[in-house]
Structure 1
Amino acid sequence: MPDNGRTAATEISTADLNRIHDLLLRCPGVARARVTHSASEGLSAQVLGWDKPAPSPDSGPLAELAKHNPDELQFLHDEIFVGESYLQGGITLRENAVVFDVGANIGIFSLFVGARCPSAEVVAFEPIPDIYDHLCRNAERHGIRVRPLRMGLSDRDQEVTFNFYPDLSIMSCRSDYADLDNETMLVEKYVENAKASGDPGRDEHIARVASLTSRDFDLSERRCELRRLSSVIDETDVPRIDLLKIDVQRSELDVLKGIDDRHWPLVRQIAMEVHDETGTPTEGRLKEVRALLLDRGFEITDSEVDLLRGAGRFSVQAIHPAYADDPRPVAVSAGSGAEPEPQALLDSLARQLPAHLVPRQITLVSELALD
């Protein structure tokens, strides 16, 4: 540990504290941090990790995130960080990965990538301006390497109307693809399955989610830009797409159809949600998606989304066999998450800061109240 005996006697400004705080947020696994300084104790810091279940959307790792609805934020965190939903089926991230986050919403998966693989670059797509603003705020606060784009992806360049649901923004979608009866059924299935799982401490959260079905969804419309993925690849000039993550509320097949033959070799892995809802235009889509990806040479696994059993939501992972020959080391795989290590954080700060700005100690805590 660095010898910071000068810390207490050295002038520490608010700008210095903010600098230390921001560097801590850029360290792997750190969700929140607090840096304090006193004449008697010198510099110290407390940090909170991402990867434990969030006790509340208003405390723990989620407390300072920009959000529309606290309950969907808690759901997204537990699904992505705790459940590692986009690392199933053998999906990995290599050093310096390029990730396309299609349907980024407020950026929880982008934050996951930044927390687990800081060397990765994320291109995050979110067409609805209200949600996009939250995505930008969350990405900026955590300093992840993300390029937010206010657009969605489709099989052709166009402008369309989206339904925006502030109470449940993850259900927002193209108006011509909306199915409010199905969205209500989805919430009911989630509540039913969440109760059956018996997870402790979720009763209040489940009750709040259940209340959404007792009233009409608040709805407003937004005009949004959609682009073909191949058009974006040409403009961004990315060398590859290590992971194409797709969660776009019934538009997933359109996204795949927007990839030209010449660009498919750039796509190494895909993790996506597929809608295959009985009695709707999406019925049979899982089979269609599988056929398209098999034709492109991918190896595929799929399963029904656990908390949405019976709602026609499937998780699909596709990996091109050639990705195994990539020489870059694997940085992230399922189960590789870990709590931040105080000594590693101190070492990281010592490489970036003068000695008098390196805290005497960093403590990993399970709770961090808002200031």
Structure 2
Amino acid sequence: MIVNFDQIRGHRKILELLTRVVHTKRLAHAYVFSGLEGIGKRLTALALAKNLLCSSGGGKSCGTCSACIQVARGNHPDLMMIEPEKGVITIDNIRNLKRELSRKSFSGGYKVCLVDDADKMNLQAENALLKTLEEPTPDTVIILITAKPYRLLPTVLSRCQHLKFQPLALFDASELIMGGVAGVGKDDALLMASLTGGSPGKSFTLKVEQLKGLRDSWINQSKFCAQAKDENFFVGEENFLSDKENVDLKLNLLRLWYRDLALYKIYGNFDCVLNKDKAEEIASQSSALSLERILNALLGTEKYSATLEYNANPQLTLEAILMMLNPKRDFFWSKKI
């Protein structure tokens, strides 16, 4: 279901900006919507398209006219959507986009194009898109949606208005999870919101048992690394560490775990701990580690988030973070991130 701006959770400043430019008709010819997966970028892009294509002319989609219904069904003639085919967006996809944008609007208004997972464009596709961005067609709006804006060409980014979406507040995310995932109660919804970093979309694709299983793999690995007496830090976990899927999610699970260890180490209680179902393990691991070790590993997760922009090797960096827990290792992150 495609909603209006006022029905979207979070992203207040972005929604206010888009509402204003729709009313004043001062839209940019191209936008980049970037941010964590599953936080509402695509939903916002579709809501913008619905506002622009609504035939009521009131600056806010009515939801009942034929145009709004067509947008909701995905078959509006002035709305084009491009998604990766077999993991890539090719130059042929962009050529089709250019042909569609060059044609007269069916309704006499805007033509809108959404490019989902825009970072999956190959170099030829990006260069072809760049020419379109440099010479925009009047009354057209292109929206590039991506969780990895650093993979787009700087020349493409510079020709778009870049709107950066932030993760949802845990309360908002947990309420959306309870409404979208059958059988999930308040406590599990809050845990899922925390473990996914405020991404309801990830919670819709990963069941709570899967999230807990992934988290428990991290807990076991961090415990093993803290106790290892030789160089065999990662025996039995090679596949887990080398798996490049959900790297952001894994990093967040690890960050939240170290956060809980640090809070328990400092305060000696579980009041602010997120992984409350792992209280015994939190107490055990935190007592076995110095606060300096825990905080250094936590800093490592923050540092790694920055290195994603430079295509750092996920396995090597995650291993480095885990090795910081071992008292036999003297590797520490610089506090300058």
Give the TM-score normalised by the residue count of structure 2: 0.28
Bigger CA radius of gyration: 2
Which structure carries more helix by proportion?
2
Which structure carries more strand by proportion?
1
The structure showing larger relative contact order (alpha-carbon pairs under 8 Å, at least 6 residues apart) is 1
